[in-house]
Amino acid sequence: MERLRVTGGASLRGSVRVSGAKNSALKLMASTLLAEGNSTLRDVPAITDVHYMAELLRRLGADVTRADNTVTIGVPDKVAHEAPYELVRRLRASICVLGPLLARCGAADVALPGGDAIGSRGLDMHIAGLQRLGAEVDVEHGYVVARAPRGLHGTLIGLDFPSVGATENILMAAVLARGETVIDNVAREPEIVDLCEMLIEMGARIDGVGSSTLRVEGVDRLEPADHVTVPDRIVAGTWAVAALMTRGDITVTNARADHLELVLDKLTRAGAEIEAGANGGLRVAMSDRPRAIDVVTLPYPGFPTDLQPMVVALNAVADGTAMITENVYEARFMFVNELVRLGAEVRIDGHHAVVRGRESLSGAPVVATDIRAGAGLVLAGLVSAGETLVSAVQHIDRGYPNFVGQLGELGAEVVREPDPDRFDD
Ligand code: EPU
């Protein structure tokens, strides 16, 4: 077990590169199961979640190799169809092998991931969608057991909510189904667009990419692809918030400003000077204390829930009082108790948090409860007097490649060290 020792006070300055998005790379890796042969994925982030997805694909029979940020996945003619609990519990995103396995093998047994520190993570829409495609799907002994021995068939599916995971699983099953599938009210996140683009490179026929209705004309087989992962908008947004909070000046390269429109608009209202470079990238500079900003999280193109902890941290030191509304996860304010240990003034009322900004926070030991809470607490530590010890750093490692190294390059004083007080998570 390790922790981060964050010394407050530095103003972050310099340039940092964002790599491919975790929440795309994991799904792109799963999608390679749909075609026999060698697929290549580029700009895959060096994070533990990718490591666990590689383990899972190996367990299913694939040959996975990694050189720098390029991952090559060799998928055999026959793949196994069981994603066991010991791997799924480490990586909730393993659920995204459900659709590809069902389409490719006519069978999938995927352990239920369960809830986590941000709330329950339902699968009802994944299951209902695959049933509409003709699969028999049951939950037995902690597994989703799906069978479609005679293959899947096209249909009309309307999602109750634009779930990212349900959209991905249904889409990856529909690309090999017989006939046309129309999926309505799909998630429109840039990572979904990236997955559609990869599937189209593999030979899938998909219309409406980026809109809320996807039309998929099933094909008999797909071919392997060579694809570059879309840049991580959540990591880019994290650096942008860091620039504001520390009154710094950060150039974020390989960032897509068009994927962060609402976020950048909010940060501009908080007082940031933001320039989007013509050939990608962002520069975010801040000289004064940020102003409080209200935020409501919603599916894309709304404000991302994955940046909610960072804006709560930002508002904790902003001038004024802000209301943050969390609409995606029932328990994503749990980390606020840790922020309060740093002196933040936050009152939670259901899915609203009222944050009254303070001039400064004061360092204390805190625990990262999930990836984004961990990043938010590190940002808060950067503007806290003295030292903040952020334990359970393994959560941050799941989503931020070389976070400590990049913080150091920007001038922050952050050290990774063994955590004598924690033996497990
Ligand atoms: N939901 C259901 N039933 C379903 C599917 C979803 O009730 O069948 C609920 C969930 O319980 C949750 C909400 O709908 O409350 C959103 O779930 P969604 O399916 O959209 O999210 P996800 O696919 O489980 C991905 C990201 C999350 C990100 C969300 C929303 C991955 C691996 N995870 O999760 O990322 O917060 O979309 O954008 O892509 C993170 O990176 O820190 C993270 C949590």
Q: Mind listing the pLDDT tens digit for each residue in 266-280?
A: 999 999 999 998 778
Q: How many CB atoms lie within 10 A of CB 174?
A: 32
Assess whether the C-beta atom of 91 lies below 6 angstroms from ligand 1: no
24-228, which class in CATH? alpha beta
To the question of whether residue 66 is assigned a binding role by annotation, the answer is: no
pLDDT, averaged across the chain? 96
Residue 23 marked in a binding site: yes
Distance of alpha carbon 212 from its chain centroid, rounded?
20
Q: Is 165 in the pocket of ligand 1 (CB under 6 A)?
A: yes
The predicted structure's pLDDT at residue 80: 97
Percent of the chain with pLDDT over 70: 98
Strand ranges in 162-263 using DSSP code E only, listed in sequence order: 180-184, 205-207, 213-217, 226-228, 249-253
Q: Where are the domains of the chain?
A: 2-16+232-418, 24-228
| Ligand 1 atom nearest residue 372's Cα | 42
Give the whole-angstrom CA distance, residue 171 versus residue 258: 24
Q: Are strands 13-17 and 2-7 parallel, antiparallel or unpaired?
A: unpaired
What is the pLDDT, as a whole number, of residue 424?
A: 52
CA 417 to ligand 1 centroid distance, Å: 32
Helix (H) or strand (E) holding 137: strand 136-140
Mean pLDDT of 175-195: 98
Kindly state the average pLDDT of the residues 282-309: 98
CA distance 393 to 403: 10
The answer on pLDDT for 115 being more than 70 is: no
- CB atoms under 10 Å from CB of 424, counted, come to 5
Q: What per-residue confidence (pLDDT) applies to 423? A: 56
- To the question of whether residue 419 is assigned a binding role by annotation, the answer is no
Please say if the pLDDT value at position 113 is more than 90: no
371 Cβ closer than 6 Å to some ligand 1 atom: yes
pLDDT of residue 421: 79
For residue 71, CA distances in Å to 53, 63, 225, 228, 229 come to 11, 10, 12, 10, 11
Contact 217, 205 (CB under 8 A): yes
Pocket test for ligand 1, best of 131, 161, 171, 195 (most atoms within 8 A of CB): 161
Q: Whose CA is nearest to atom 26 of ligand 1?
A: 23
Same fold, 2-16+232-418 and 24-228: yes
pLDDT above 80 (res 208) = yes
Banded model confidence at residue 425, pLDDT cuts 50, 70, 90: very low
Judge whether residue 121 has pLDDT over 80: no
Q: Can you say how many angstroms the Cα of residue 352 is from the centroid of all Cα atoms in its chain? A: 22
Q: Which atom of ligand 1 is nearest to the CA of 120?
A: 11
Q: Does domain 2-16+232-418 sit in CATH 3.40.50.2030?
A: no
Distance 126 CA to ligand 1 centre (A): 11
**Closest C-alpha residue for ligand 1 atom 2:** 122
- Is 144 among the annotated ligand-binding positions? no
pLDDT digits (tens, 9 = 90+) for 314-356: 999 999 999 999 999 988 999 999 999 999 999 999 999 999 9
CA torsion, ordered 156, 162, 164, 166, to nearest 10 deg: -40
The pLDDT of residue 104 is above 80: yes
pTM: 0.97
Gap between the Cα atoms of 14 and 413, Å rounded? 14
Any binding-site annotation on 92?
A: yes
- The arithmetic mean of pLDDT across residues 111-138, rounded, is 88
Evaluate: CB of 351 within 6 angstroms of ligand 1: no
Give the torsion sign (CA, 84, 199, 228, 283).
Answer: negative
**Ligand 1 contact, 153 CB (< 6 A):** no
- For the segment 174-203, the average pLDDT, to the nearest whole number, is 98
Taking only the tens place, the pLDDT of each residue in 19-76 is 999 999 999 999 999 999 999 999 999 999 999 999 999 999 999 999 999 999 999 9
Residues 116 and 92 sit within 8 Å (Cβ to Cβ): yes
Q: From the CB of residue 247, how many other CB atoms can be counted at a distance below 10 Å?
A: 19
Average pLDDT of the segment spanning 100-118: 89
What pLDDT score was predicted for residue 139? 94
Active site residues: 116
Q: Is 96 helix (H, G, I), strand (E, B) or coil?
A: helix
Task: Kindly state if the Cβ of 372 falls inside 6 Å of ligand 1.
Answer: yes
Confidence band, pLDDT 50/70/90 cuts, at residue 1? confident
Nearest CA to ligand 1 atom 7: 122
For residue 161, how many other CB atoms are within 10 A of its CB?
12
Which atom belonging to ligand 1 lies closest to the Cα atom of 161? Answer: 14
